[in-house]
C-alpha cells in the first residue's frame, strides 16, 4: 500500500462575484482558472448531494461553504524512492459533519487546470510538509507553488 500525504490548502476567499453573476479573482489568471474550475466542481457536488439525498442536505452544505467552513486538501502518493509522485496529486474539498471532516468532492490536478510544473511543485511542497526531501540548506527552498 502506498502512503498518502494530506496537506491543508489556503481558503478560497479571493473569489468575488461581480454584478451579473460573473466570478472574478483578485489573483493571477492561473489561480483564477483553478478557483473557477474548483467552484464548478463544488456546484456539481452540491447538485449530486441534492439528487442523491435531499435538498435540505445540499442547502446545509452550501451554507457551510458560504461561511468558509470547509477545507481544501491535497493528496499525493509517495513513490518507492520516498519522493512524492506528482501525477498522483488530487485536490479534495472537505466539510465538517458530526465533528469530523468528510469529503465533498475530489479532483485530479489536471481536471482543475493545474500545469504539470504546478502539480510537481505542489507535490514537492506536500512532501516537504511531511519531512520528505527536506534540504540541508534552507536556501535551496523556493516560494510555495501557485496553481
Domain boundaries in the chain? 4-125
In the chain, at which residue ranges do the beta strands (DSSP E only) sit?
Answer: 4-9, 15-17, 23-25, 70-77, 90-97, 100-108
Q: What is the pLDDT of residues 11-57, one digit of tens each?
A: 455 555 556 666 555 556 677 778 888 889 999 999 999 999 888 98
- Residues 63-90 have a mean pLDDT of 89
Contact present, 42 and 93 (Cβ < 8 Å): yes
Cβ count near 115 (within 10 Å)? 14
Nearest to 70 by CA among 48, 27, 101: 101
Does this model's pTM top 0.85? My answer is: no
Contact present, 52 and 107 (Cβ < 8 Å): no
Amino acid at each position: 500500500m502506498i502512503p498518502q500525504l494530506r496537506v491543508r490548502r489556503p481558503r478560497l476567499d479571493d473569489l468575488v462575484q461581480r454584478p451579473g453573476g460573473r466570478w472574478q479573482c483578485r489573483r493571477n489568471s492561473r489561480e483564477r482558472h483553478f478557483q473557477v474550475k474548483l467552484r464548478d466542481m463544488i456546484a456539481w457536488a452540491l447538485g449530486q448531494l441534492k439528487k442523491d439525498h435531499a435538498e435540505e442536505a445540499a442547502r446545509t452544505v452550501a451554507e457551510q461553504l458560504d461561511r468558509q467552513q470547509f477545507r481544501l486538501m491535497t493528496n499525493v502518493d509517495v513513490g518507492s524512492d520516498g519522493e512524492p509522485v506528482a501525477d498522483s496529486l488530487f485536490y479534495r474539498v472537505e466539510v465538517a459533519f458530526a465533528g469530523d471532516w468528510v469529503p465533498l468532492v475530489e479532483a485530479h490536478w489536471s481536471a482543475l487546470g493545474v500545469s504539470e510544473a504546478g502539480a510537481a511543485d505542489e507535490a514537492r511542497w506536500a512532501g516537504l510538509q511531511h519531512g520528505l526531501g527536506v534540504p540541508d540548506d534552507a536556501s535551496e527552498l523556493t516560494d510555495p507553488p501557485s496553481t
